[in-house]
Amino acid sequence: MMLVGSPTVGKTSIWLRYVDNVFSDTYIKTTEAFFKIKNIKVGEHKVKLQIWDQPPQDRFKEYNYNKYRGAHGIIVVYDVTNQESFQNVKKWLQEINYYASKNVCKVLVGNKCDRVDRKVTTQEAKELAGQLNMSFLETSAKNDNNVEEAFCKMACCICRTAKIWLKEDINSWPKSHGLFGLEQKQVVEGVCLIIGIYVSRDVTVYCVKTILRLMELKQKY
C-alpha cells in the first residue's frame, strides 16, 4: 500500500508513526520513494504490509504508472488546516483512477486533526468521501490518533477485496478431495489470502489454477 497527497500534509509523519511509533515536528521533504514493512493480523490471518511513502510530485508519467500499478491500497492524505490540499484530493483520485488497478482500495485521511485552526470540516470530508466511494477518517500523527485505525481499515479492505474477486473465479470449480483431504475450494481460499494480497489478480488466478492442476495429477497418479 502507499500514501499520496499534497506536500506538507503529513504523509511521512503518518507513515513513521505507524511503523516506528516516532514523530518529529521538523519537516523533511520526501524526495525519493521509500517503504517499510509492518506485520499485522487481520482476523485469524497474518498479513505483511509493504507501505510506501511517495514524493508528492513526479516529472515522468511512466514513473506514475509504475508507482500505482502494483498497489493494492492507497491512502490519500490531506491537511485539515489546508483547504488547497483538500481540494487536491479529486486530482489525486483522477491520477489513481487512471494509473492504478480498478480493484485498488482507497481510504481518505484528514491529518492534523489535533490542530484548532482547521479549515476543512469533518462533514465536508465525509461528503467528499461518499461521492468518491472512499472510506474516511481523521488522524493526528502528532498525537497518534486514529493512525493505526487507518492502516487497519486499509488492510481489511485489501483482504476483503482479494476474497471477492477471487471468489468469482473459484465458485464454478468442482469439489474434490485432494491435498491433505481438503476440498479444492478450501485450498484455494487459503492460498488466496497469502498470494492475492501481494500480486495482481491475473497472477494469483494463474498460481491457483496451477495448484489445482497439481492436485488433479496427485489424485490421478
pLDDT digits (tens, 9 = 90+) for 156-191: 888 877 665 555 555 555 554 444 444 555 555 555
Q: Give 99-131 pLDDT, tens digit per residue.
A: 888 889 999 999 999 999 999 999 999 999 999
pLDDT at 25: 84
Query: Rounded mean pLDDT of the chain?
Result: 79
What are residue 55's DSSP bridge partners?
none
Q: Give the Cα separation of 173 and 215 in Å (integer).
A: 13
Please measure the distance between the N-terminal and C-terminal CA atoms of the chain and give it in whole angstroms: 42
Angle between helices 61-69 and 89-99 (to 10 degrees): 80
Contacts of 213 (CB under 8 A, 6+ apart): none
Position with higher pLDDT, 4 vs 168: 4
At 52 the pLDDT is 85
Amino acid in position 118? R
pLDDT at 197 over 70: no
pTM exceeds 0.85, yes or no: no
Query: With bands split at pLDDT 50, 70 and 90, how would you rate the model's confidence at 134?
Result: very high
Q: Tell me how far apart the alpha carbons of residues 202 and 35 are, in angstroms, rounded to a whole number.
A: 24
C-alpha to C-alpha distance for 139 and 28, rounded to whole angstroms: 19
